[in-house]
Amino acid sequence: MTTGRILAALIAAATVVLIAIATLWPVQSAVAMAGSGASLLSSSSTAQAAVESLAGEIGRQEWEKAYSSLANKSEFTEPEFVRDLTGNYPSIRTYATLDSSDLRPLHASADEAQIQLKLRWSTVVGTFLDTRTLKVVRTDGRSGDRWAVSWPIVKEPRVPPQVIPVNYLRWDVIYRGPADDWGAQDVEAPHVRIVDMHPVDRADGVVLMGELLNEDVVPAFVTVKATLLAKDGSAIASEDSFDKISHVLLPKQVTPFLIAFHDVALSQVDSVHMDPSATLIAASADPVIEIEDQRLNPAPGASFTGKLINQSGQVVNVAHVLGTFYDKNGQLVWVADQYVDRALLPEIPVSFAMSIPADIASKVSSERAITATYSSGRFQ
């Protein structure tokens, strides 16, 4: 009987100890499952903890809590803080979720620290990185010393109310109807042509790059499918360009395309069957996007950068930049792309940067960039 009581007391004591340990030092997976912060007891006891805590609140979209923890709340409102992170207008950023965050201390003193915070956002078109350099200051709170982040607010420029006249141009299509007789022709599919194609052997497989021209006078929805054929004529693999292409091509417009075949070596390939397809679609010729300050930045960290300027009056919610890179002989050597996470407001420049593989960057002599855009509420 006594032994049983001792055992029960031991079990109860062990349970209390384990609960205390788990509360004070939770494992990361448990934190994620619970949706809680990094540490319940030390959210702002150090500069690093304050930034970690803020990143956690941003990730959980606890905007009120995140805003109230900031040291420079008086400089902006909570909605402005939220818009800084999610965008003023619907964009890729609006629908992104925080995938992970990294912080790197840059400088620290007794009362102030500088920490670089990298927020890696996850979207349907991949991830994008939002890097902020945060000043963290020591403040005296009711519960003693604490650290608070001074948020470097980036206020999106506002476009003043105005009327921008646009000579709107778009194509509408009437297709063949079910009542038409057998001989009645449908609207002709747009004529498109591959004007350049180049296979490259990469470490992770074969990459097919090229350029497709809409040589017709009507807009086209285009896709490019490729099949790698072995020496005996059998198909090794078949892939399409997915989003490494501008799918809507206006008359005389050229898009690059890139098709990746993973785990295939170029030595296995005897020939390639290309299958470009084009469908006539209703489309709009607007908006016009200027790509300004395009620059090739050499290795290390080779990249292609520039700014997008929306020359039309409508807001562009999603912009996709495709870069085509050529060597000094004009031969296509690489295709890269980048989605811009913020909406493009009229006349407001938005930067973009796309990385170029180091071994390719040294060969690049010139480049060409195009943009594909999507505006919500607009008939594409």
Site membership for another protein, residue 253 (CB under 8 A): yes
SS3 state at 266: helix
Tokens found for residue 35: 């949706």
Which of 275/293 has CB closer to another protein? Answer: 293
| DSSP one-letter code for 359 | H
Which of 241/312 has CB closer to another protein? Answer: 312
Site membership for another protein, residue 205 (CB under 8 A): no
Among 90, 205, 251, 357, binds another protein (CB under 8 A): 251
Site membership for another protein, residue 169 (CB under 8 A): yes
SS3 state at 330: coil
Which of 218/264 has CB closer to another protein? Answer: 218
With 0-12 CB in 10 A as exposed, 13-18 as middle and 19+ as buried, what is 320? buried
Which 177-196 positions form the footprint of another protein (CB under 8 A)? 181-183, 185-188, 195
CB of 347 to another protein, least distance (A): 9
Q: Could you tell me which residues come within 8 angstroms of residue 57 by beta carbon, excluding any fewer than 6 positions away?
A: 37, 63, 65, 66, 69
* Site residue total, another protein (CB under 8 A): 39
Site membership for another protein, residue 165 (CB under 8 A): no
Site membership for another protein, residue 215 (CB under 8 A): yes
CB under 8 A: which stretch of 99-107, 134-142, 331-339, 366-374 binds another protein? 366-374
Tokens found for residue 19: 């609960």
Q: Could you tell me which residues come within 8 angstroms of residue 208 by beta carbon, excluding any fewer than 6 positions away?
A: 197, 198, 199, 200, 226, 258, 259, 260, 261, 272
Which 280-339 positions form the footprint of another protein (CB under 8 A)? 285-286, 288-295, 311
Site membership for another protein, residue 153 (CB under 8 A): no
- In the β-sheet with 332-340, what is the strand arrangement from edge to edge? 332-340, 318-326, 366-374
Tokens found for residue 102: 């990294």
Which of 18/173 has CB closer to another protein? Answer: 173
Query: For binding to another protein (CB under 8 A), which residues are involved?
Result: 167, 169, 171, 181-183, 185-188, 195, 213-219, 250-254, 285-286, 288-295, 311, 367-371
